Structure 1
């Protein structure tokens, strides 16, 4: 393989990669404190109940995790969803040291800025009406964005024909308020957004494994239309990643992967 395959084969990706290289650690125009989250105090509010704890050690969760594309037509519970959200991107406590007061979170974040937001497309969650929600970690609850079910056909189209997305009980979508990080790190901060989304997604899929649920991550979607559904300002907050969660069908790892569905089988 030619050493310049990346540069010549994917010039747009190469341009981004090189354009965000060698950036200063902190931009001189960096400001503090960071931009606030996008909470809406007028939105209907759903406090999250206590959720089940994970009993399995990390080594078992890593070993047993598998991408699930074959979900049962069964609901998950609101306490289960609460556990997933808290482990995915929740607040884990506070640390006080001298004049500093730090809210600890479930994943590392460049500069402690936590630019990500989590939305939930709830299809079948016991105790939560079907609709679209926004997770507010520091208040430990959900804001209702849309109070009607999202049609399965629309979900399938939004996620580029991945039918298993519409069959899951819920889809968690990660988005990033770009300025929250890029004001400090410039163009290189975009890399940090992607890294942080990966941290959150790994937490989510390991937590689903620990709860006996199934999950598959979703990197393919129609950006602009999904942004409209989530009521995002697409010029300020961008969709990065998703994870579909539900009750897995019986069977071994191969059956749950349902690889034939990738080829339309």
Structure 2
């Protein structure tokens, strides 16, 4: 009985988390306290970067937006085919690329909406079958629209499957997108409301990944079931100031 009540209490608490608390908020955010703003993006972690193209017009296989929306669906089966680095560039740009920087590095404008233009995410990739790229873990640098190679990993496919709790289909994709949250980037402005806002924003990113994948003949699969500790360790994240919140493999369909 105590366990049942504990579950009910947690459900009630989670439902409250889904509600808006802006009208009740009485605490000042760090922005209101005029504390320094956190960086708009994570600093590069290596000295080498792979510059990506923004020439996308020749990549589009399905230009009909209405058809893309009507036929949008989750794909868990992929052909054993590579994607090009330009196709990968397109997917990165349409989900987290930077179109404009506003003010004195105050905010970025991107292809997806974000509460207060905070864009509290970083994009990591496990590259498995991308032409011209070594298999391994990469990090997207949206300011430069480039990729940095982080590390190679032995038995990468197995480690992807393990981190996704045995969902082996993901490791058969050409690439797996891992979206991390950098919470303070949003907490600085929205404080206690920020955590719900970041989860809403993650949905905007994923929908763009779905539609952009469809436009180039690929498919995606949004995944929220994973082993938090394993996936954060795989990508070298501390699990507190930065951690994975959303994942999607992308492959040719």
The TM-score, its normalising length taken from structure 1, stands at: 0.81
What do residues 216-264 of structure 1 show as CA deviations (whole Å, max 9, x unaligned)? 111111111111111112111121101110111xxxxxxxxxxxxxxxx
- 1:117 and 2:122 matched: yes
Q: Unmatched 5+ residue regions in structure 2?
A: none
- Number of residues paired by the alignment? 240
Structure 2 equivalent of residue 22 of structure 1: 21
Match of 1:252 in 2: none
Distance in 2 between residues matched to 1:69 and 1:137, nearest whole Å: 28
Distance 2:236 2:11 in 1: 28
Question: What secondary structure does 2:209 align onto?
Answer: helix
Q: How does 1:1-265 map to 2 (within 5 A)?
A: 10-18=8-16, 21-23=20-22, 27-31=27-31, 34-36=37-39, 37-40=41-44, 42-53=46-57, 54=60, 56-93=63-100, 103-148=108-153, 151-248=156-253
Alignment CA distance shift 1:61-1:240 (3 Å): same
Kindly report structure 1 stretches of 4+ aligned residues shifted beyond 6 Å.
Answer: none
Q: Which runs of 5+ in 1 are unaligned?
A: 1-6, 249-265
Give the drift of 1:59.
1.3
Q: Secondary structure at the match of 1:139?
A: coil
**Distance apart, 1:102 and its partner CA:** 5.5
TM-score of the superposed pair, with normalisation by structure 2: 0.85
d(CA) in 2 for partners of 1:51 and 1:27? Answer: 46
Q: Do 1:133 and 1:144's aligned partners in 2 also have CA atoms closer than 8 Å?
A: yes
State how far apart, in whole Å, the 1-side matches of 2:45 and 2:234 are.
Answer: 19
Please, which moves more after superposition, 107-116 or 189-198? 107-116
Q: CA RMSD in A?
A: 2.5
Q: Which is further off, 204-213 or 108-117? A: 108-117
More strand by share: 1
